[in-house]
Amino acid sequence: MTRTLFIGLDGATYTVLDQLTSEGAEGVTMPFMREVMRRGRRSVLRSTPHPLTPPAWVSLVTGRSPGQHGVYDFVRFEDRGDEVFFTLYDARDIRKETIWSIASRNKRTLTSLNFPMMAPVSPVNGSLVPGFVSWKHLKMNVTPPELYGRLKNIEGFNARELAWDFERESLIGEMMTQAELESWVSGHMPREEQWFNIARTLLEEDSPDLFAVMFDGTDKLQHQVWHVLDPRRLAGGLSEDDRRLRDMTLGYFRTLDGYIRRLVEMAGPDAQVFFASDHGFTGSDYIFRVNRFLEEKGYLAWRPSDGSEADKRRDAANFANLQWTNTTAYCPTPSSNGIVIRTAKKAGDPGVPPGDYYRFRQRLMDDLMSIEHPEGGRPFIRDILLREEAFPGAARDMAPDLTLVLDDYGFVSVKNKAPFLERRPVVCGTHHPDGVFMAYGPGVAQGEGAPIAIMDVAAVLLYSLGVPIPEDFEAQLPDDLFTREHLRANAVRMGEPTRPVSEIGVPVGEMSDHDKSKILDQLRALGYLED
């Protein structure tokens, strides 16, 4: 049976990869990925309707859209009328079976490393180390339990470097100094080395049927140093500081290329190798403070502050400083790009009367689309996604009522600051709906393929493993990914439906409130949350 190797590259985009795999004055930064592109298959990957890390990676590992699997953001909310509460999404919120579970019950061995939203963990037929876990809590969130002992025996293992270092990556605000930017780049290199060392060890010692690892420094670096990566912004030359920052960033990608080469070589010449990102990347030039706009239009009210420490702590929770009795629509987080319309549960409750919902929503959309782009000639908001259209499924009601697609694909801001729309002093890296998908190895067709949906990667991996694709998958196997000869010799098989998550196994491990607060600090550092 063919071994399947999957390498996730968080936020990878052809905008950057194409320049790093091409000849130029700086040379070829990623020579191995250049060979992958030349000898394999590449396609544009269409991310989830809102291209964000949690819903996108969960779609990839479940073969389902967010309206089916139920994960939309880093945090979820509960409206209790006079207050709104939030908590972090985790694996227990995923409503559909993952490919790790499907492969396991089909007697395939596997290793899964660093994929987000996988903690607390459920048992698999192999090893799983989730991403998005603080180092102090990592030991309690691996499976099997004895795996952590094996990790500690790997030469150079350092849990602080492996997991998110919430102390180092603390709240940084909207801008970084040059020293902070350089520290940001250099700080991610040891972390990728930790994941590579674990990947190399488990691939060699366990030789699983499915080996999957995700490197996420690509995303984190691009958020902060997009101004030295985007080829469209390099024509005018770079300052000495920016040249040094770019050289450091290219060093990261060069090292990552070496890690990828080594893993592919270890997998062997008969392995089918697949690469995918959860979304692409682009540059955002403008700040849109959506809650400030909603206030000016009368949809939202801020709660007066008394200056106390309790008030200051409340104000740091994104939306806890809203006056809920006078708020009918608000955006909870920058990462959501979503607007929640508060609907009254009964007469006299705060919110919009149910009978007025559609009329209210249309007025709100008209107000949003009336915002003119500062450069003129078009609306600032590119599109507004309706919940029922963008996120159909049993989990639809968990989605925001409206999801905004800005002209430059940027994340919104939820800060109470005027003006509600202004140009950024420095371009900021932001998510783009078009990511990357590449395939390499025996049976894979060469050249440019048609675009694929992110959830289709789940069907690709199961097919490569020789596992029937569940009949209730939304994911489909791309028609042109494999050669005709390979498809004739390895017919596509449809199998039994996925199993209810209640039958898969009870997740183990837990996260303390302290660790949750540290994760929230990290999300603020990356711009997904704001003070």
How much of the chain exceeds pLDDT 70, in percent? Answer: 90
Task: Give the pLDDT band of residue 182 (cuts 50, 70, 90).
Answer: very high
What is the DSSP annotation of 84-117?
EEEEE--GGG--S--HHHHHHHTT--EEEES-TT
The pLDDT assigned to 145 comes to: 94
In angstroms, the CA 88 to CA 521 distance is: 12
Task: Give the pLDDT band of residue 338 (cuts 50, 70, 90).
Answer: very high
User: pLDDT of 392-440, one tens digit each?
Assistant: 999 999 999 999 999 999 999 999 999 999 999 989 999 999 999 999 9
Q: Which of 5-9, 318-322, 433-437 has the lowest mean pLDDT?
A: 318-322
Averaged pLDDT of the chain: 90
The pLDDT assigned to 345 comes to: 85
**Domain ranges for the chain:** 4-279+433-525, 287-424
User: pLDDT of 72-107, one tens digit each?
Assistant: 999 888 777 667 777 889 999 999 999 999 999 999
Q: Which of 305-309, 364-368, 422-426, 470-474 has the lowest mean pLDDT?
A: 305-309
The pLDDT assigned to 170 comes to: 36
Helices (H) and strands (E) in the chain, counts: 17, 19
Q: What φ, ψ does residue 280 adopt, rounded to 5°?
A: -100, -160
In angstroms, the CA 50 to CA 454 distance is: 12
In angstroms, the CA 428 to CA 69 distance is: 30
CA 384 to chain centroid? 20
Over residues 117-121, mean pLDDT: 93
Tell whether omega for the bond before 120 is within 30 degrees of 0, i.e. cis: yes
Higher pLDDT, 131 or 164: 131
* 19: amino acid identity, one letter: Q
User: pLDDT of 13-47, one tens digit each?
Assistant: 999 999 999 988 789 999 999 999 999 999 999 99
| Ordered strands of the 329-330 beta sheet | 329-330, 338-341, 402-406, 381-386
Per-residue three-class SS string for 216-269: CHHHHHHHHHHHHCCHHHCCCCCCHHHHHHHHHHHHHHHHHHHHHHHHHHHHCC
Higher pLDDT, 85 or 173: 85
The pLDDT assigned to 166 comes to: 45
- pLDDT of residue 285 exceeding 60: yes
In angstroms, the CA 218 to CA 9 distance is: 7
The pLDDT assigned to 171 comes to: 31
The pLDDT assigned to 414 comes to: 92
CA contacts within 13 A on the Cβ side of 218: 31
What is the sign of the dihedral through the CA atoms of 186, 192, 198 and 203? negative
Over residues 501-519, mean pLDDT: 64
The pLDDT assigned to 158 comes to: 93
Task: Give the pLDDT band of residue 491 (cuts 50, 70, 90).
Answer: very high
The pLDDT assigned to 517 comes to: 60
The pLDDT assigned to 526 comes to: 52
Per-residue three-class SS string for 448-488: ECCCEECCHHHHHHHHHHCCCEECCCCCCCCCCCECHHHHH
User: pLDDT of 253-282, one tens digit each?
Assistant: 999 999 999 999 999 999 999 999 999 999
Over residues 152-158, mean pLDDT: 95
Over residues 338-359, mean pLDDT: 92
The pLDDT assigned to 168 comes to: 43
Task: Give the pLDDT band of residue 448 (cuts 50, 70, 90).
Answer: very high
The pLDDT assigned to 174 comes to: 47
In angstroms, the CA 108 to CA 211 distance is: 11
Q: What φ, ψ does residue 74 adopt, rounded to 5°?
A: -75, -30
Instruction: Measure the CA angle with vertex 69, ends 65 and 70; round to 5°.
Output: 110
Over residues 294-303, mean pLDDT: 95
- pLDDT of residue 522 exceeding 80: no
Higher pLDDT, 348 or 17: 17
In angstroms, the CA 191 to CA 160 distance is: 9
DSSP tag of 379: B
- pLDDT of residue 242 exceeding 70: yes
The pLDDT assigned to 81 comes to: 67
The pLDDT assigned to 303 comes to: 85
| H or E element, residue 152 | helix 147-152
CA nearest to 63, candidates 233, 276, 317, 281: 276
Neighbours of 421 (CB within 10 A): 18
Q: At what angle do helices 456-465 and 53-62 cross, to 10 degrees?
A: 40
CATH number for region 4-279+433-525: 3.40.720.10
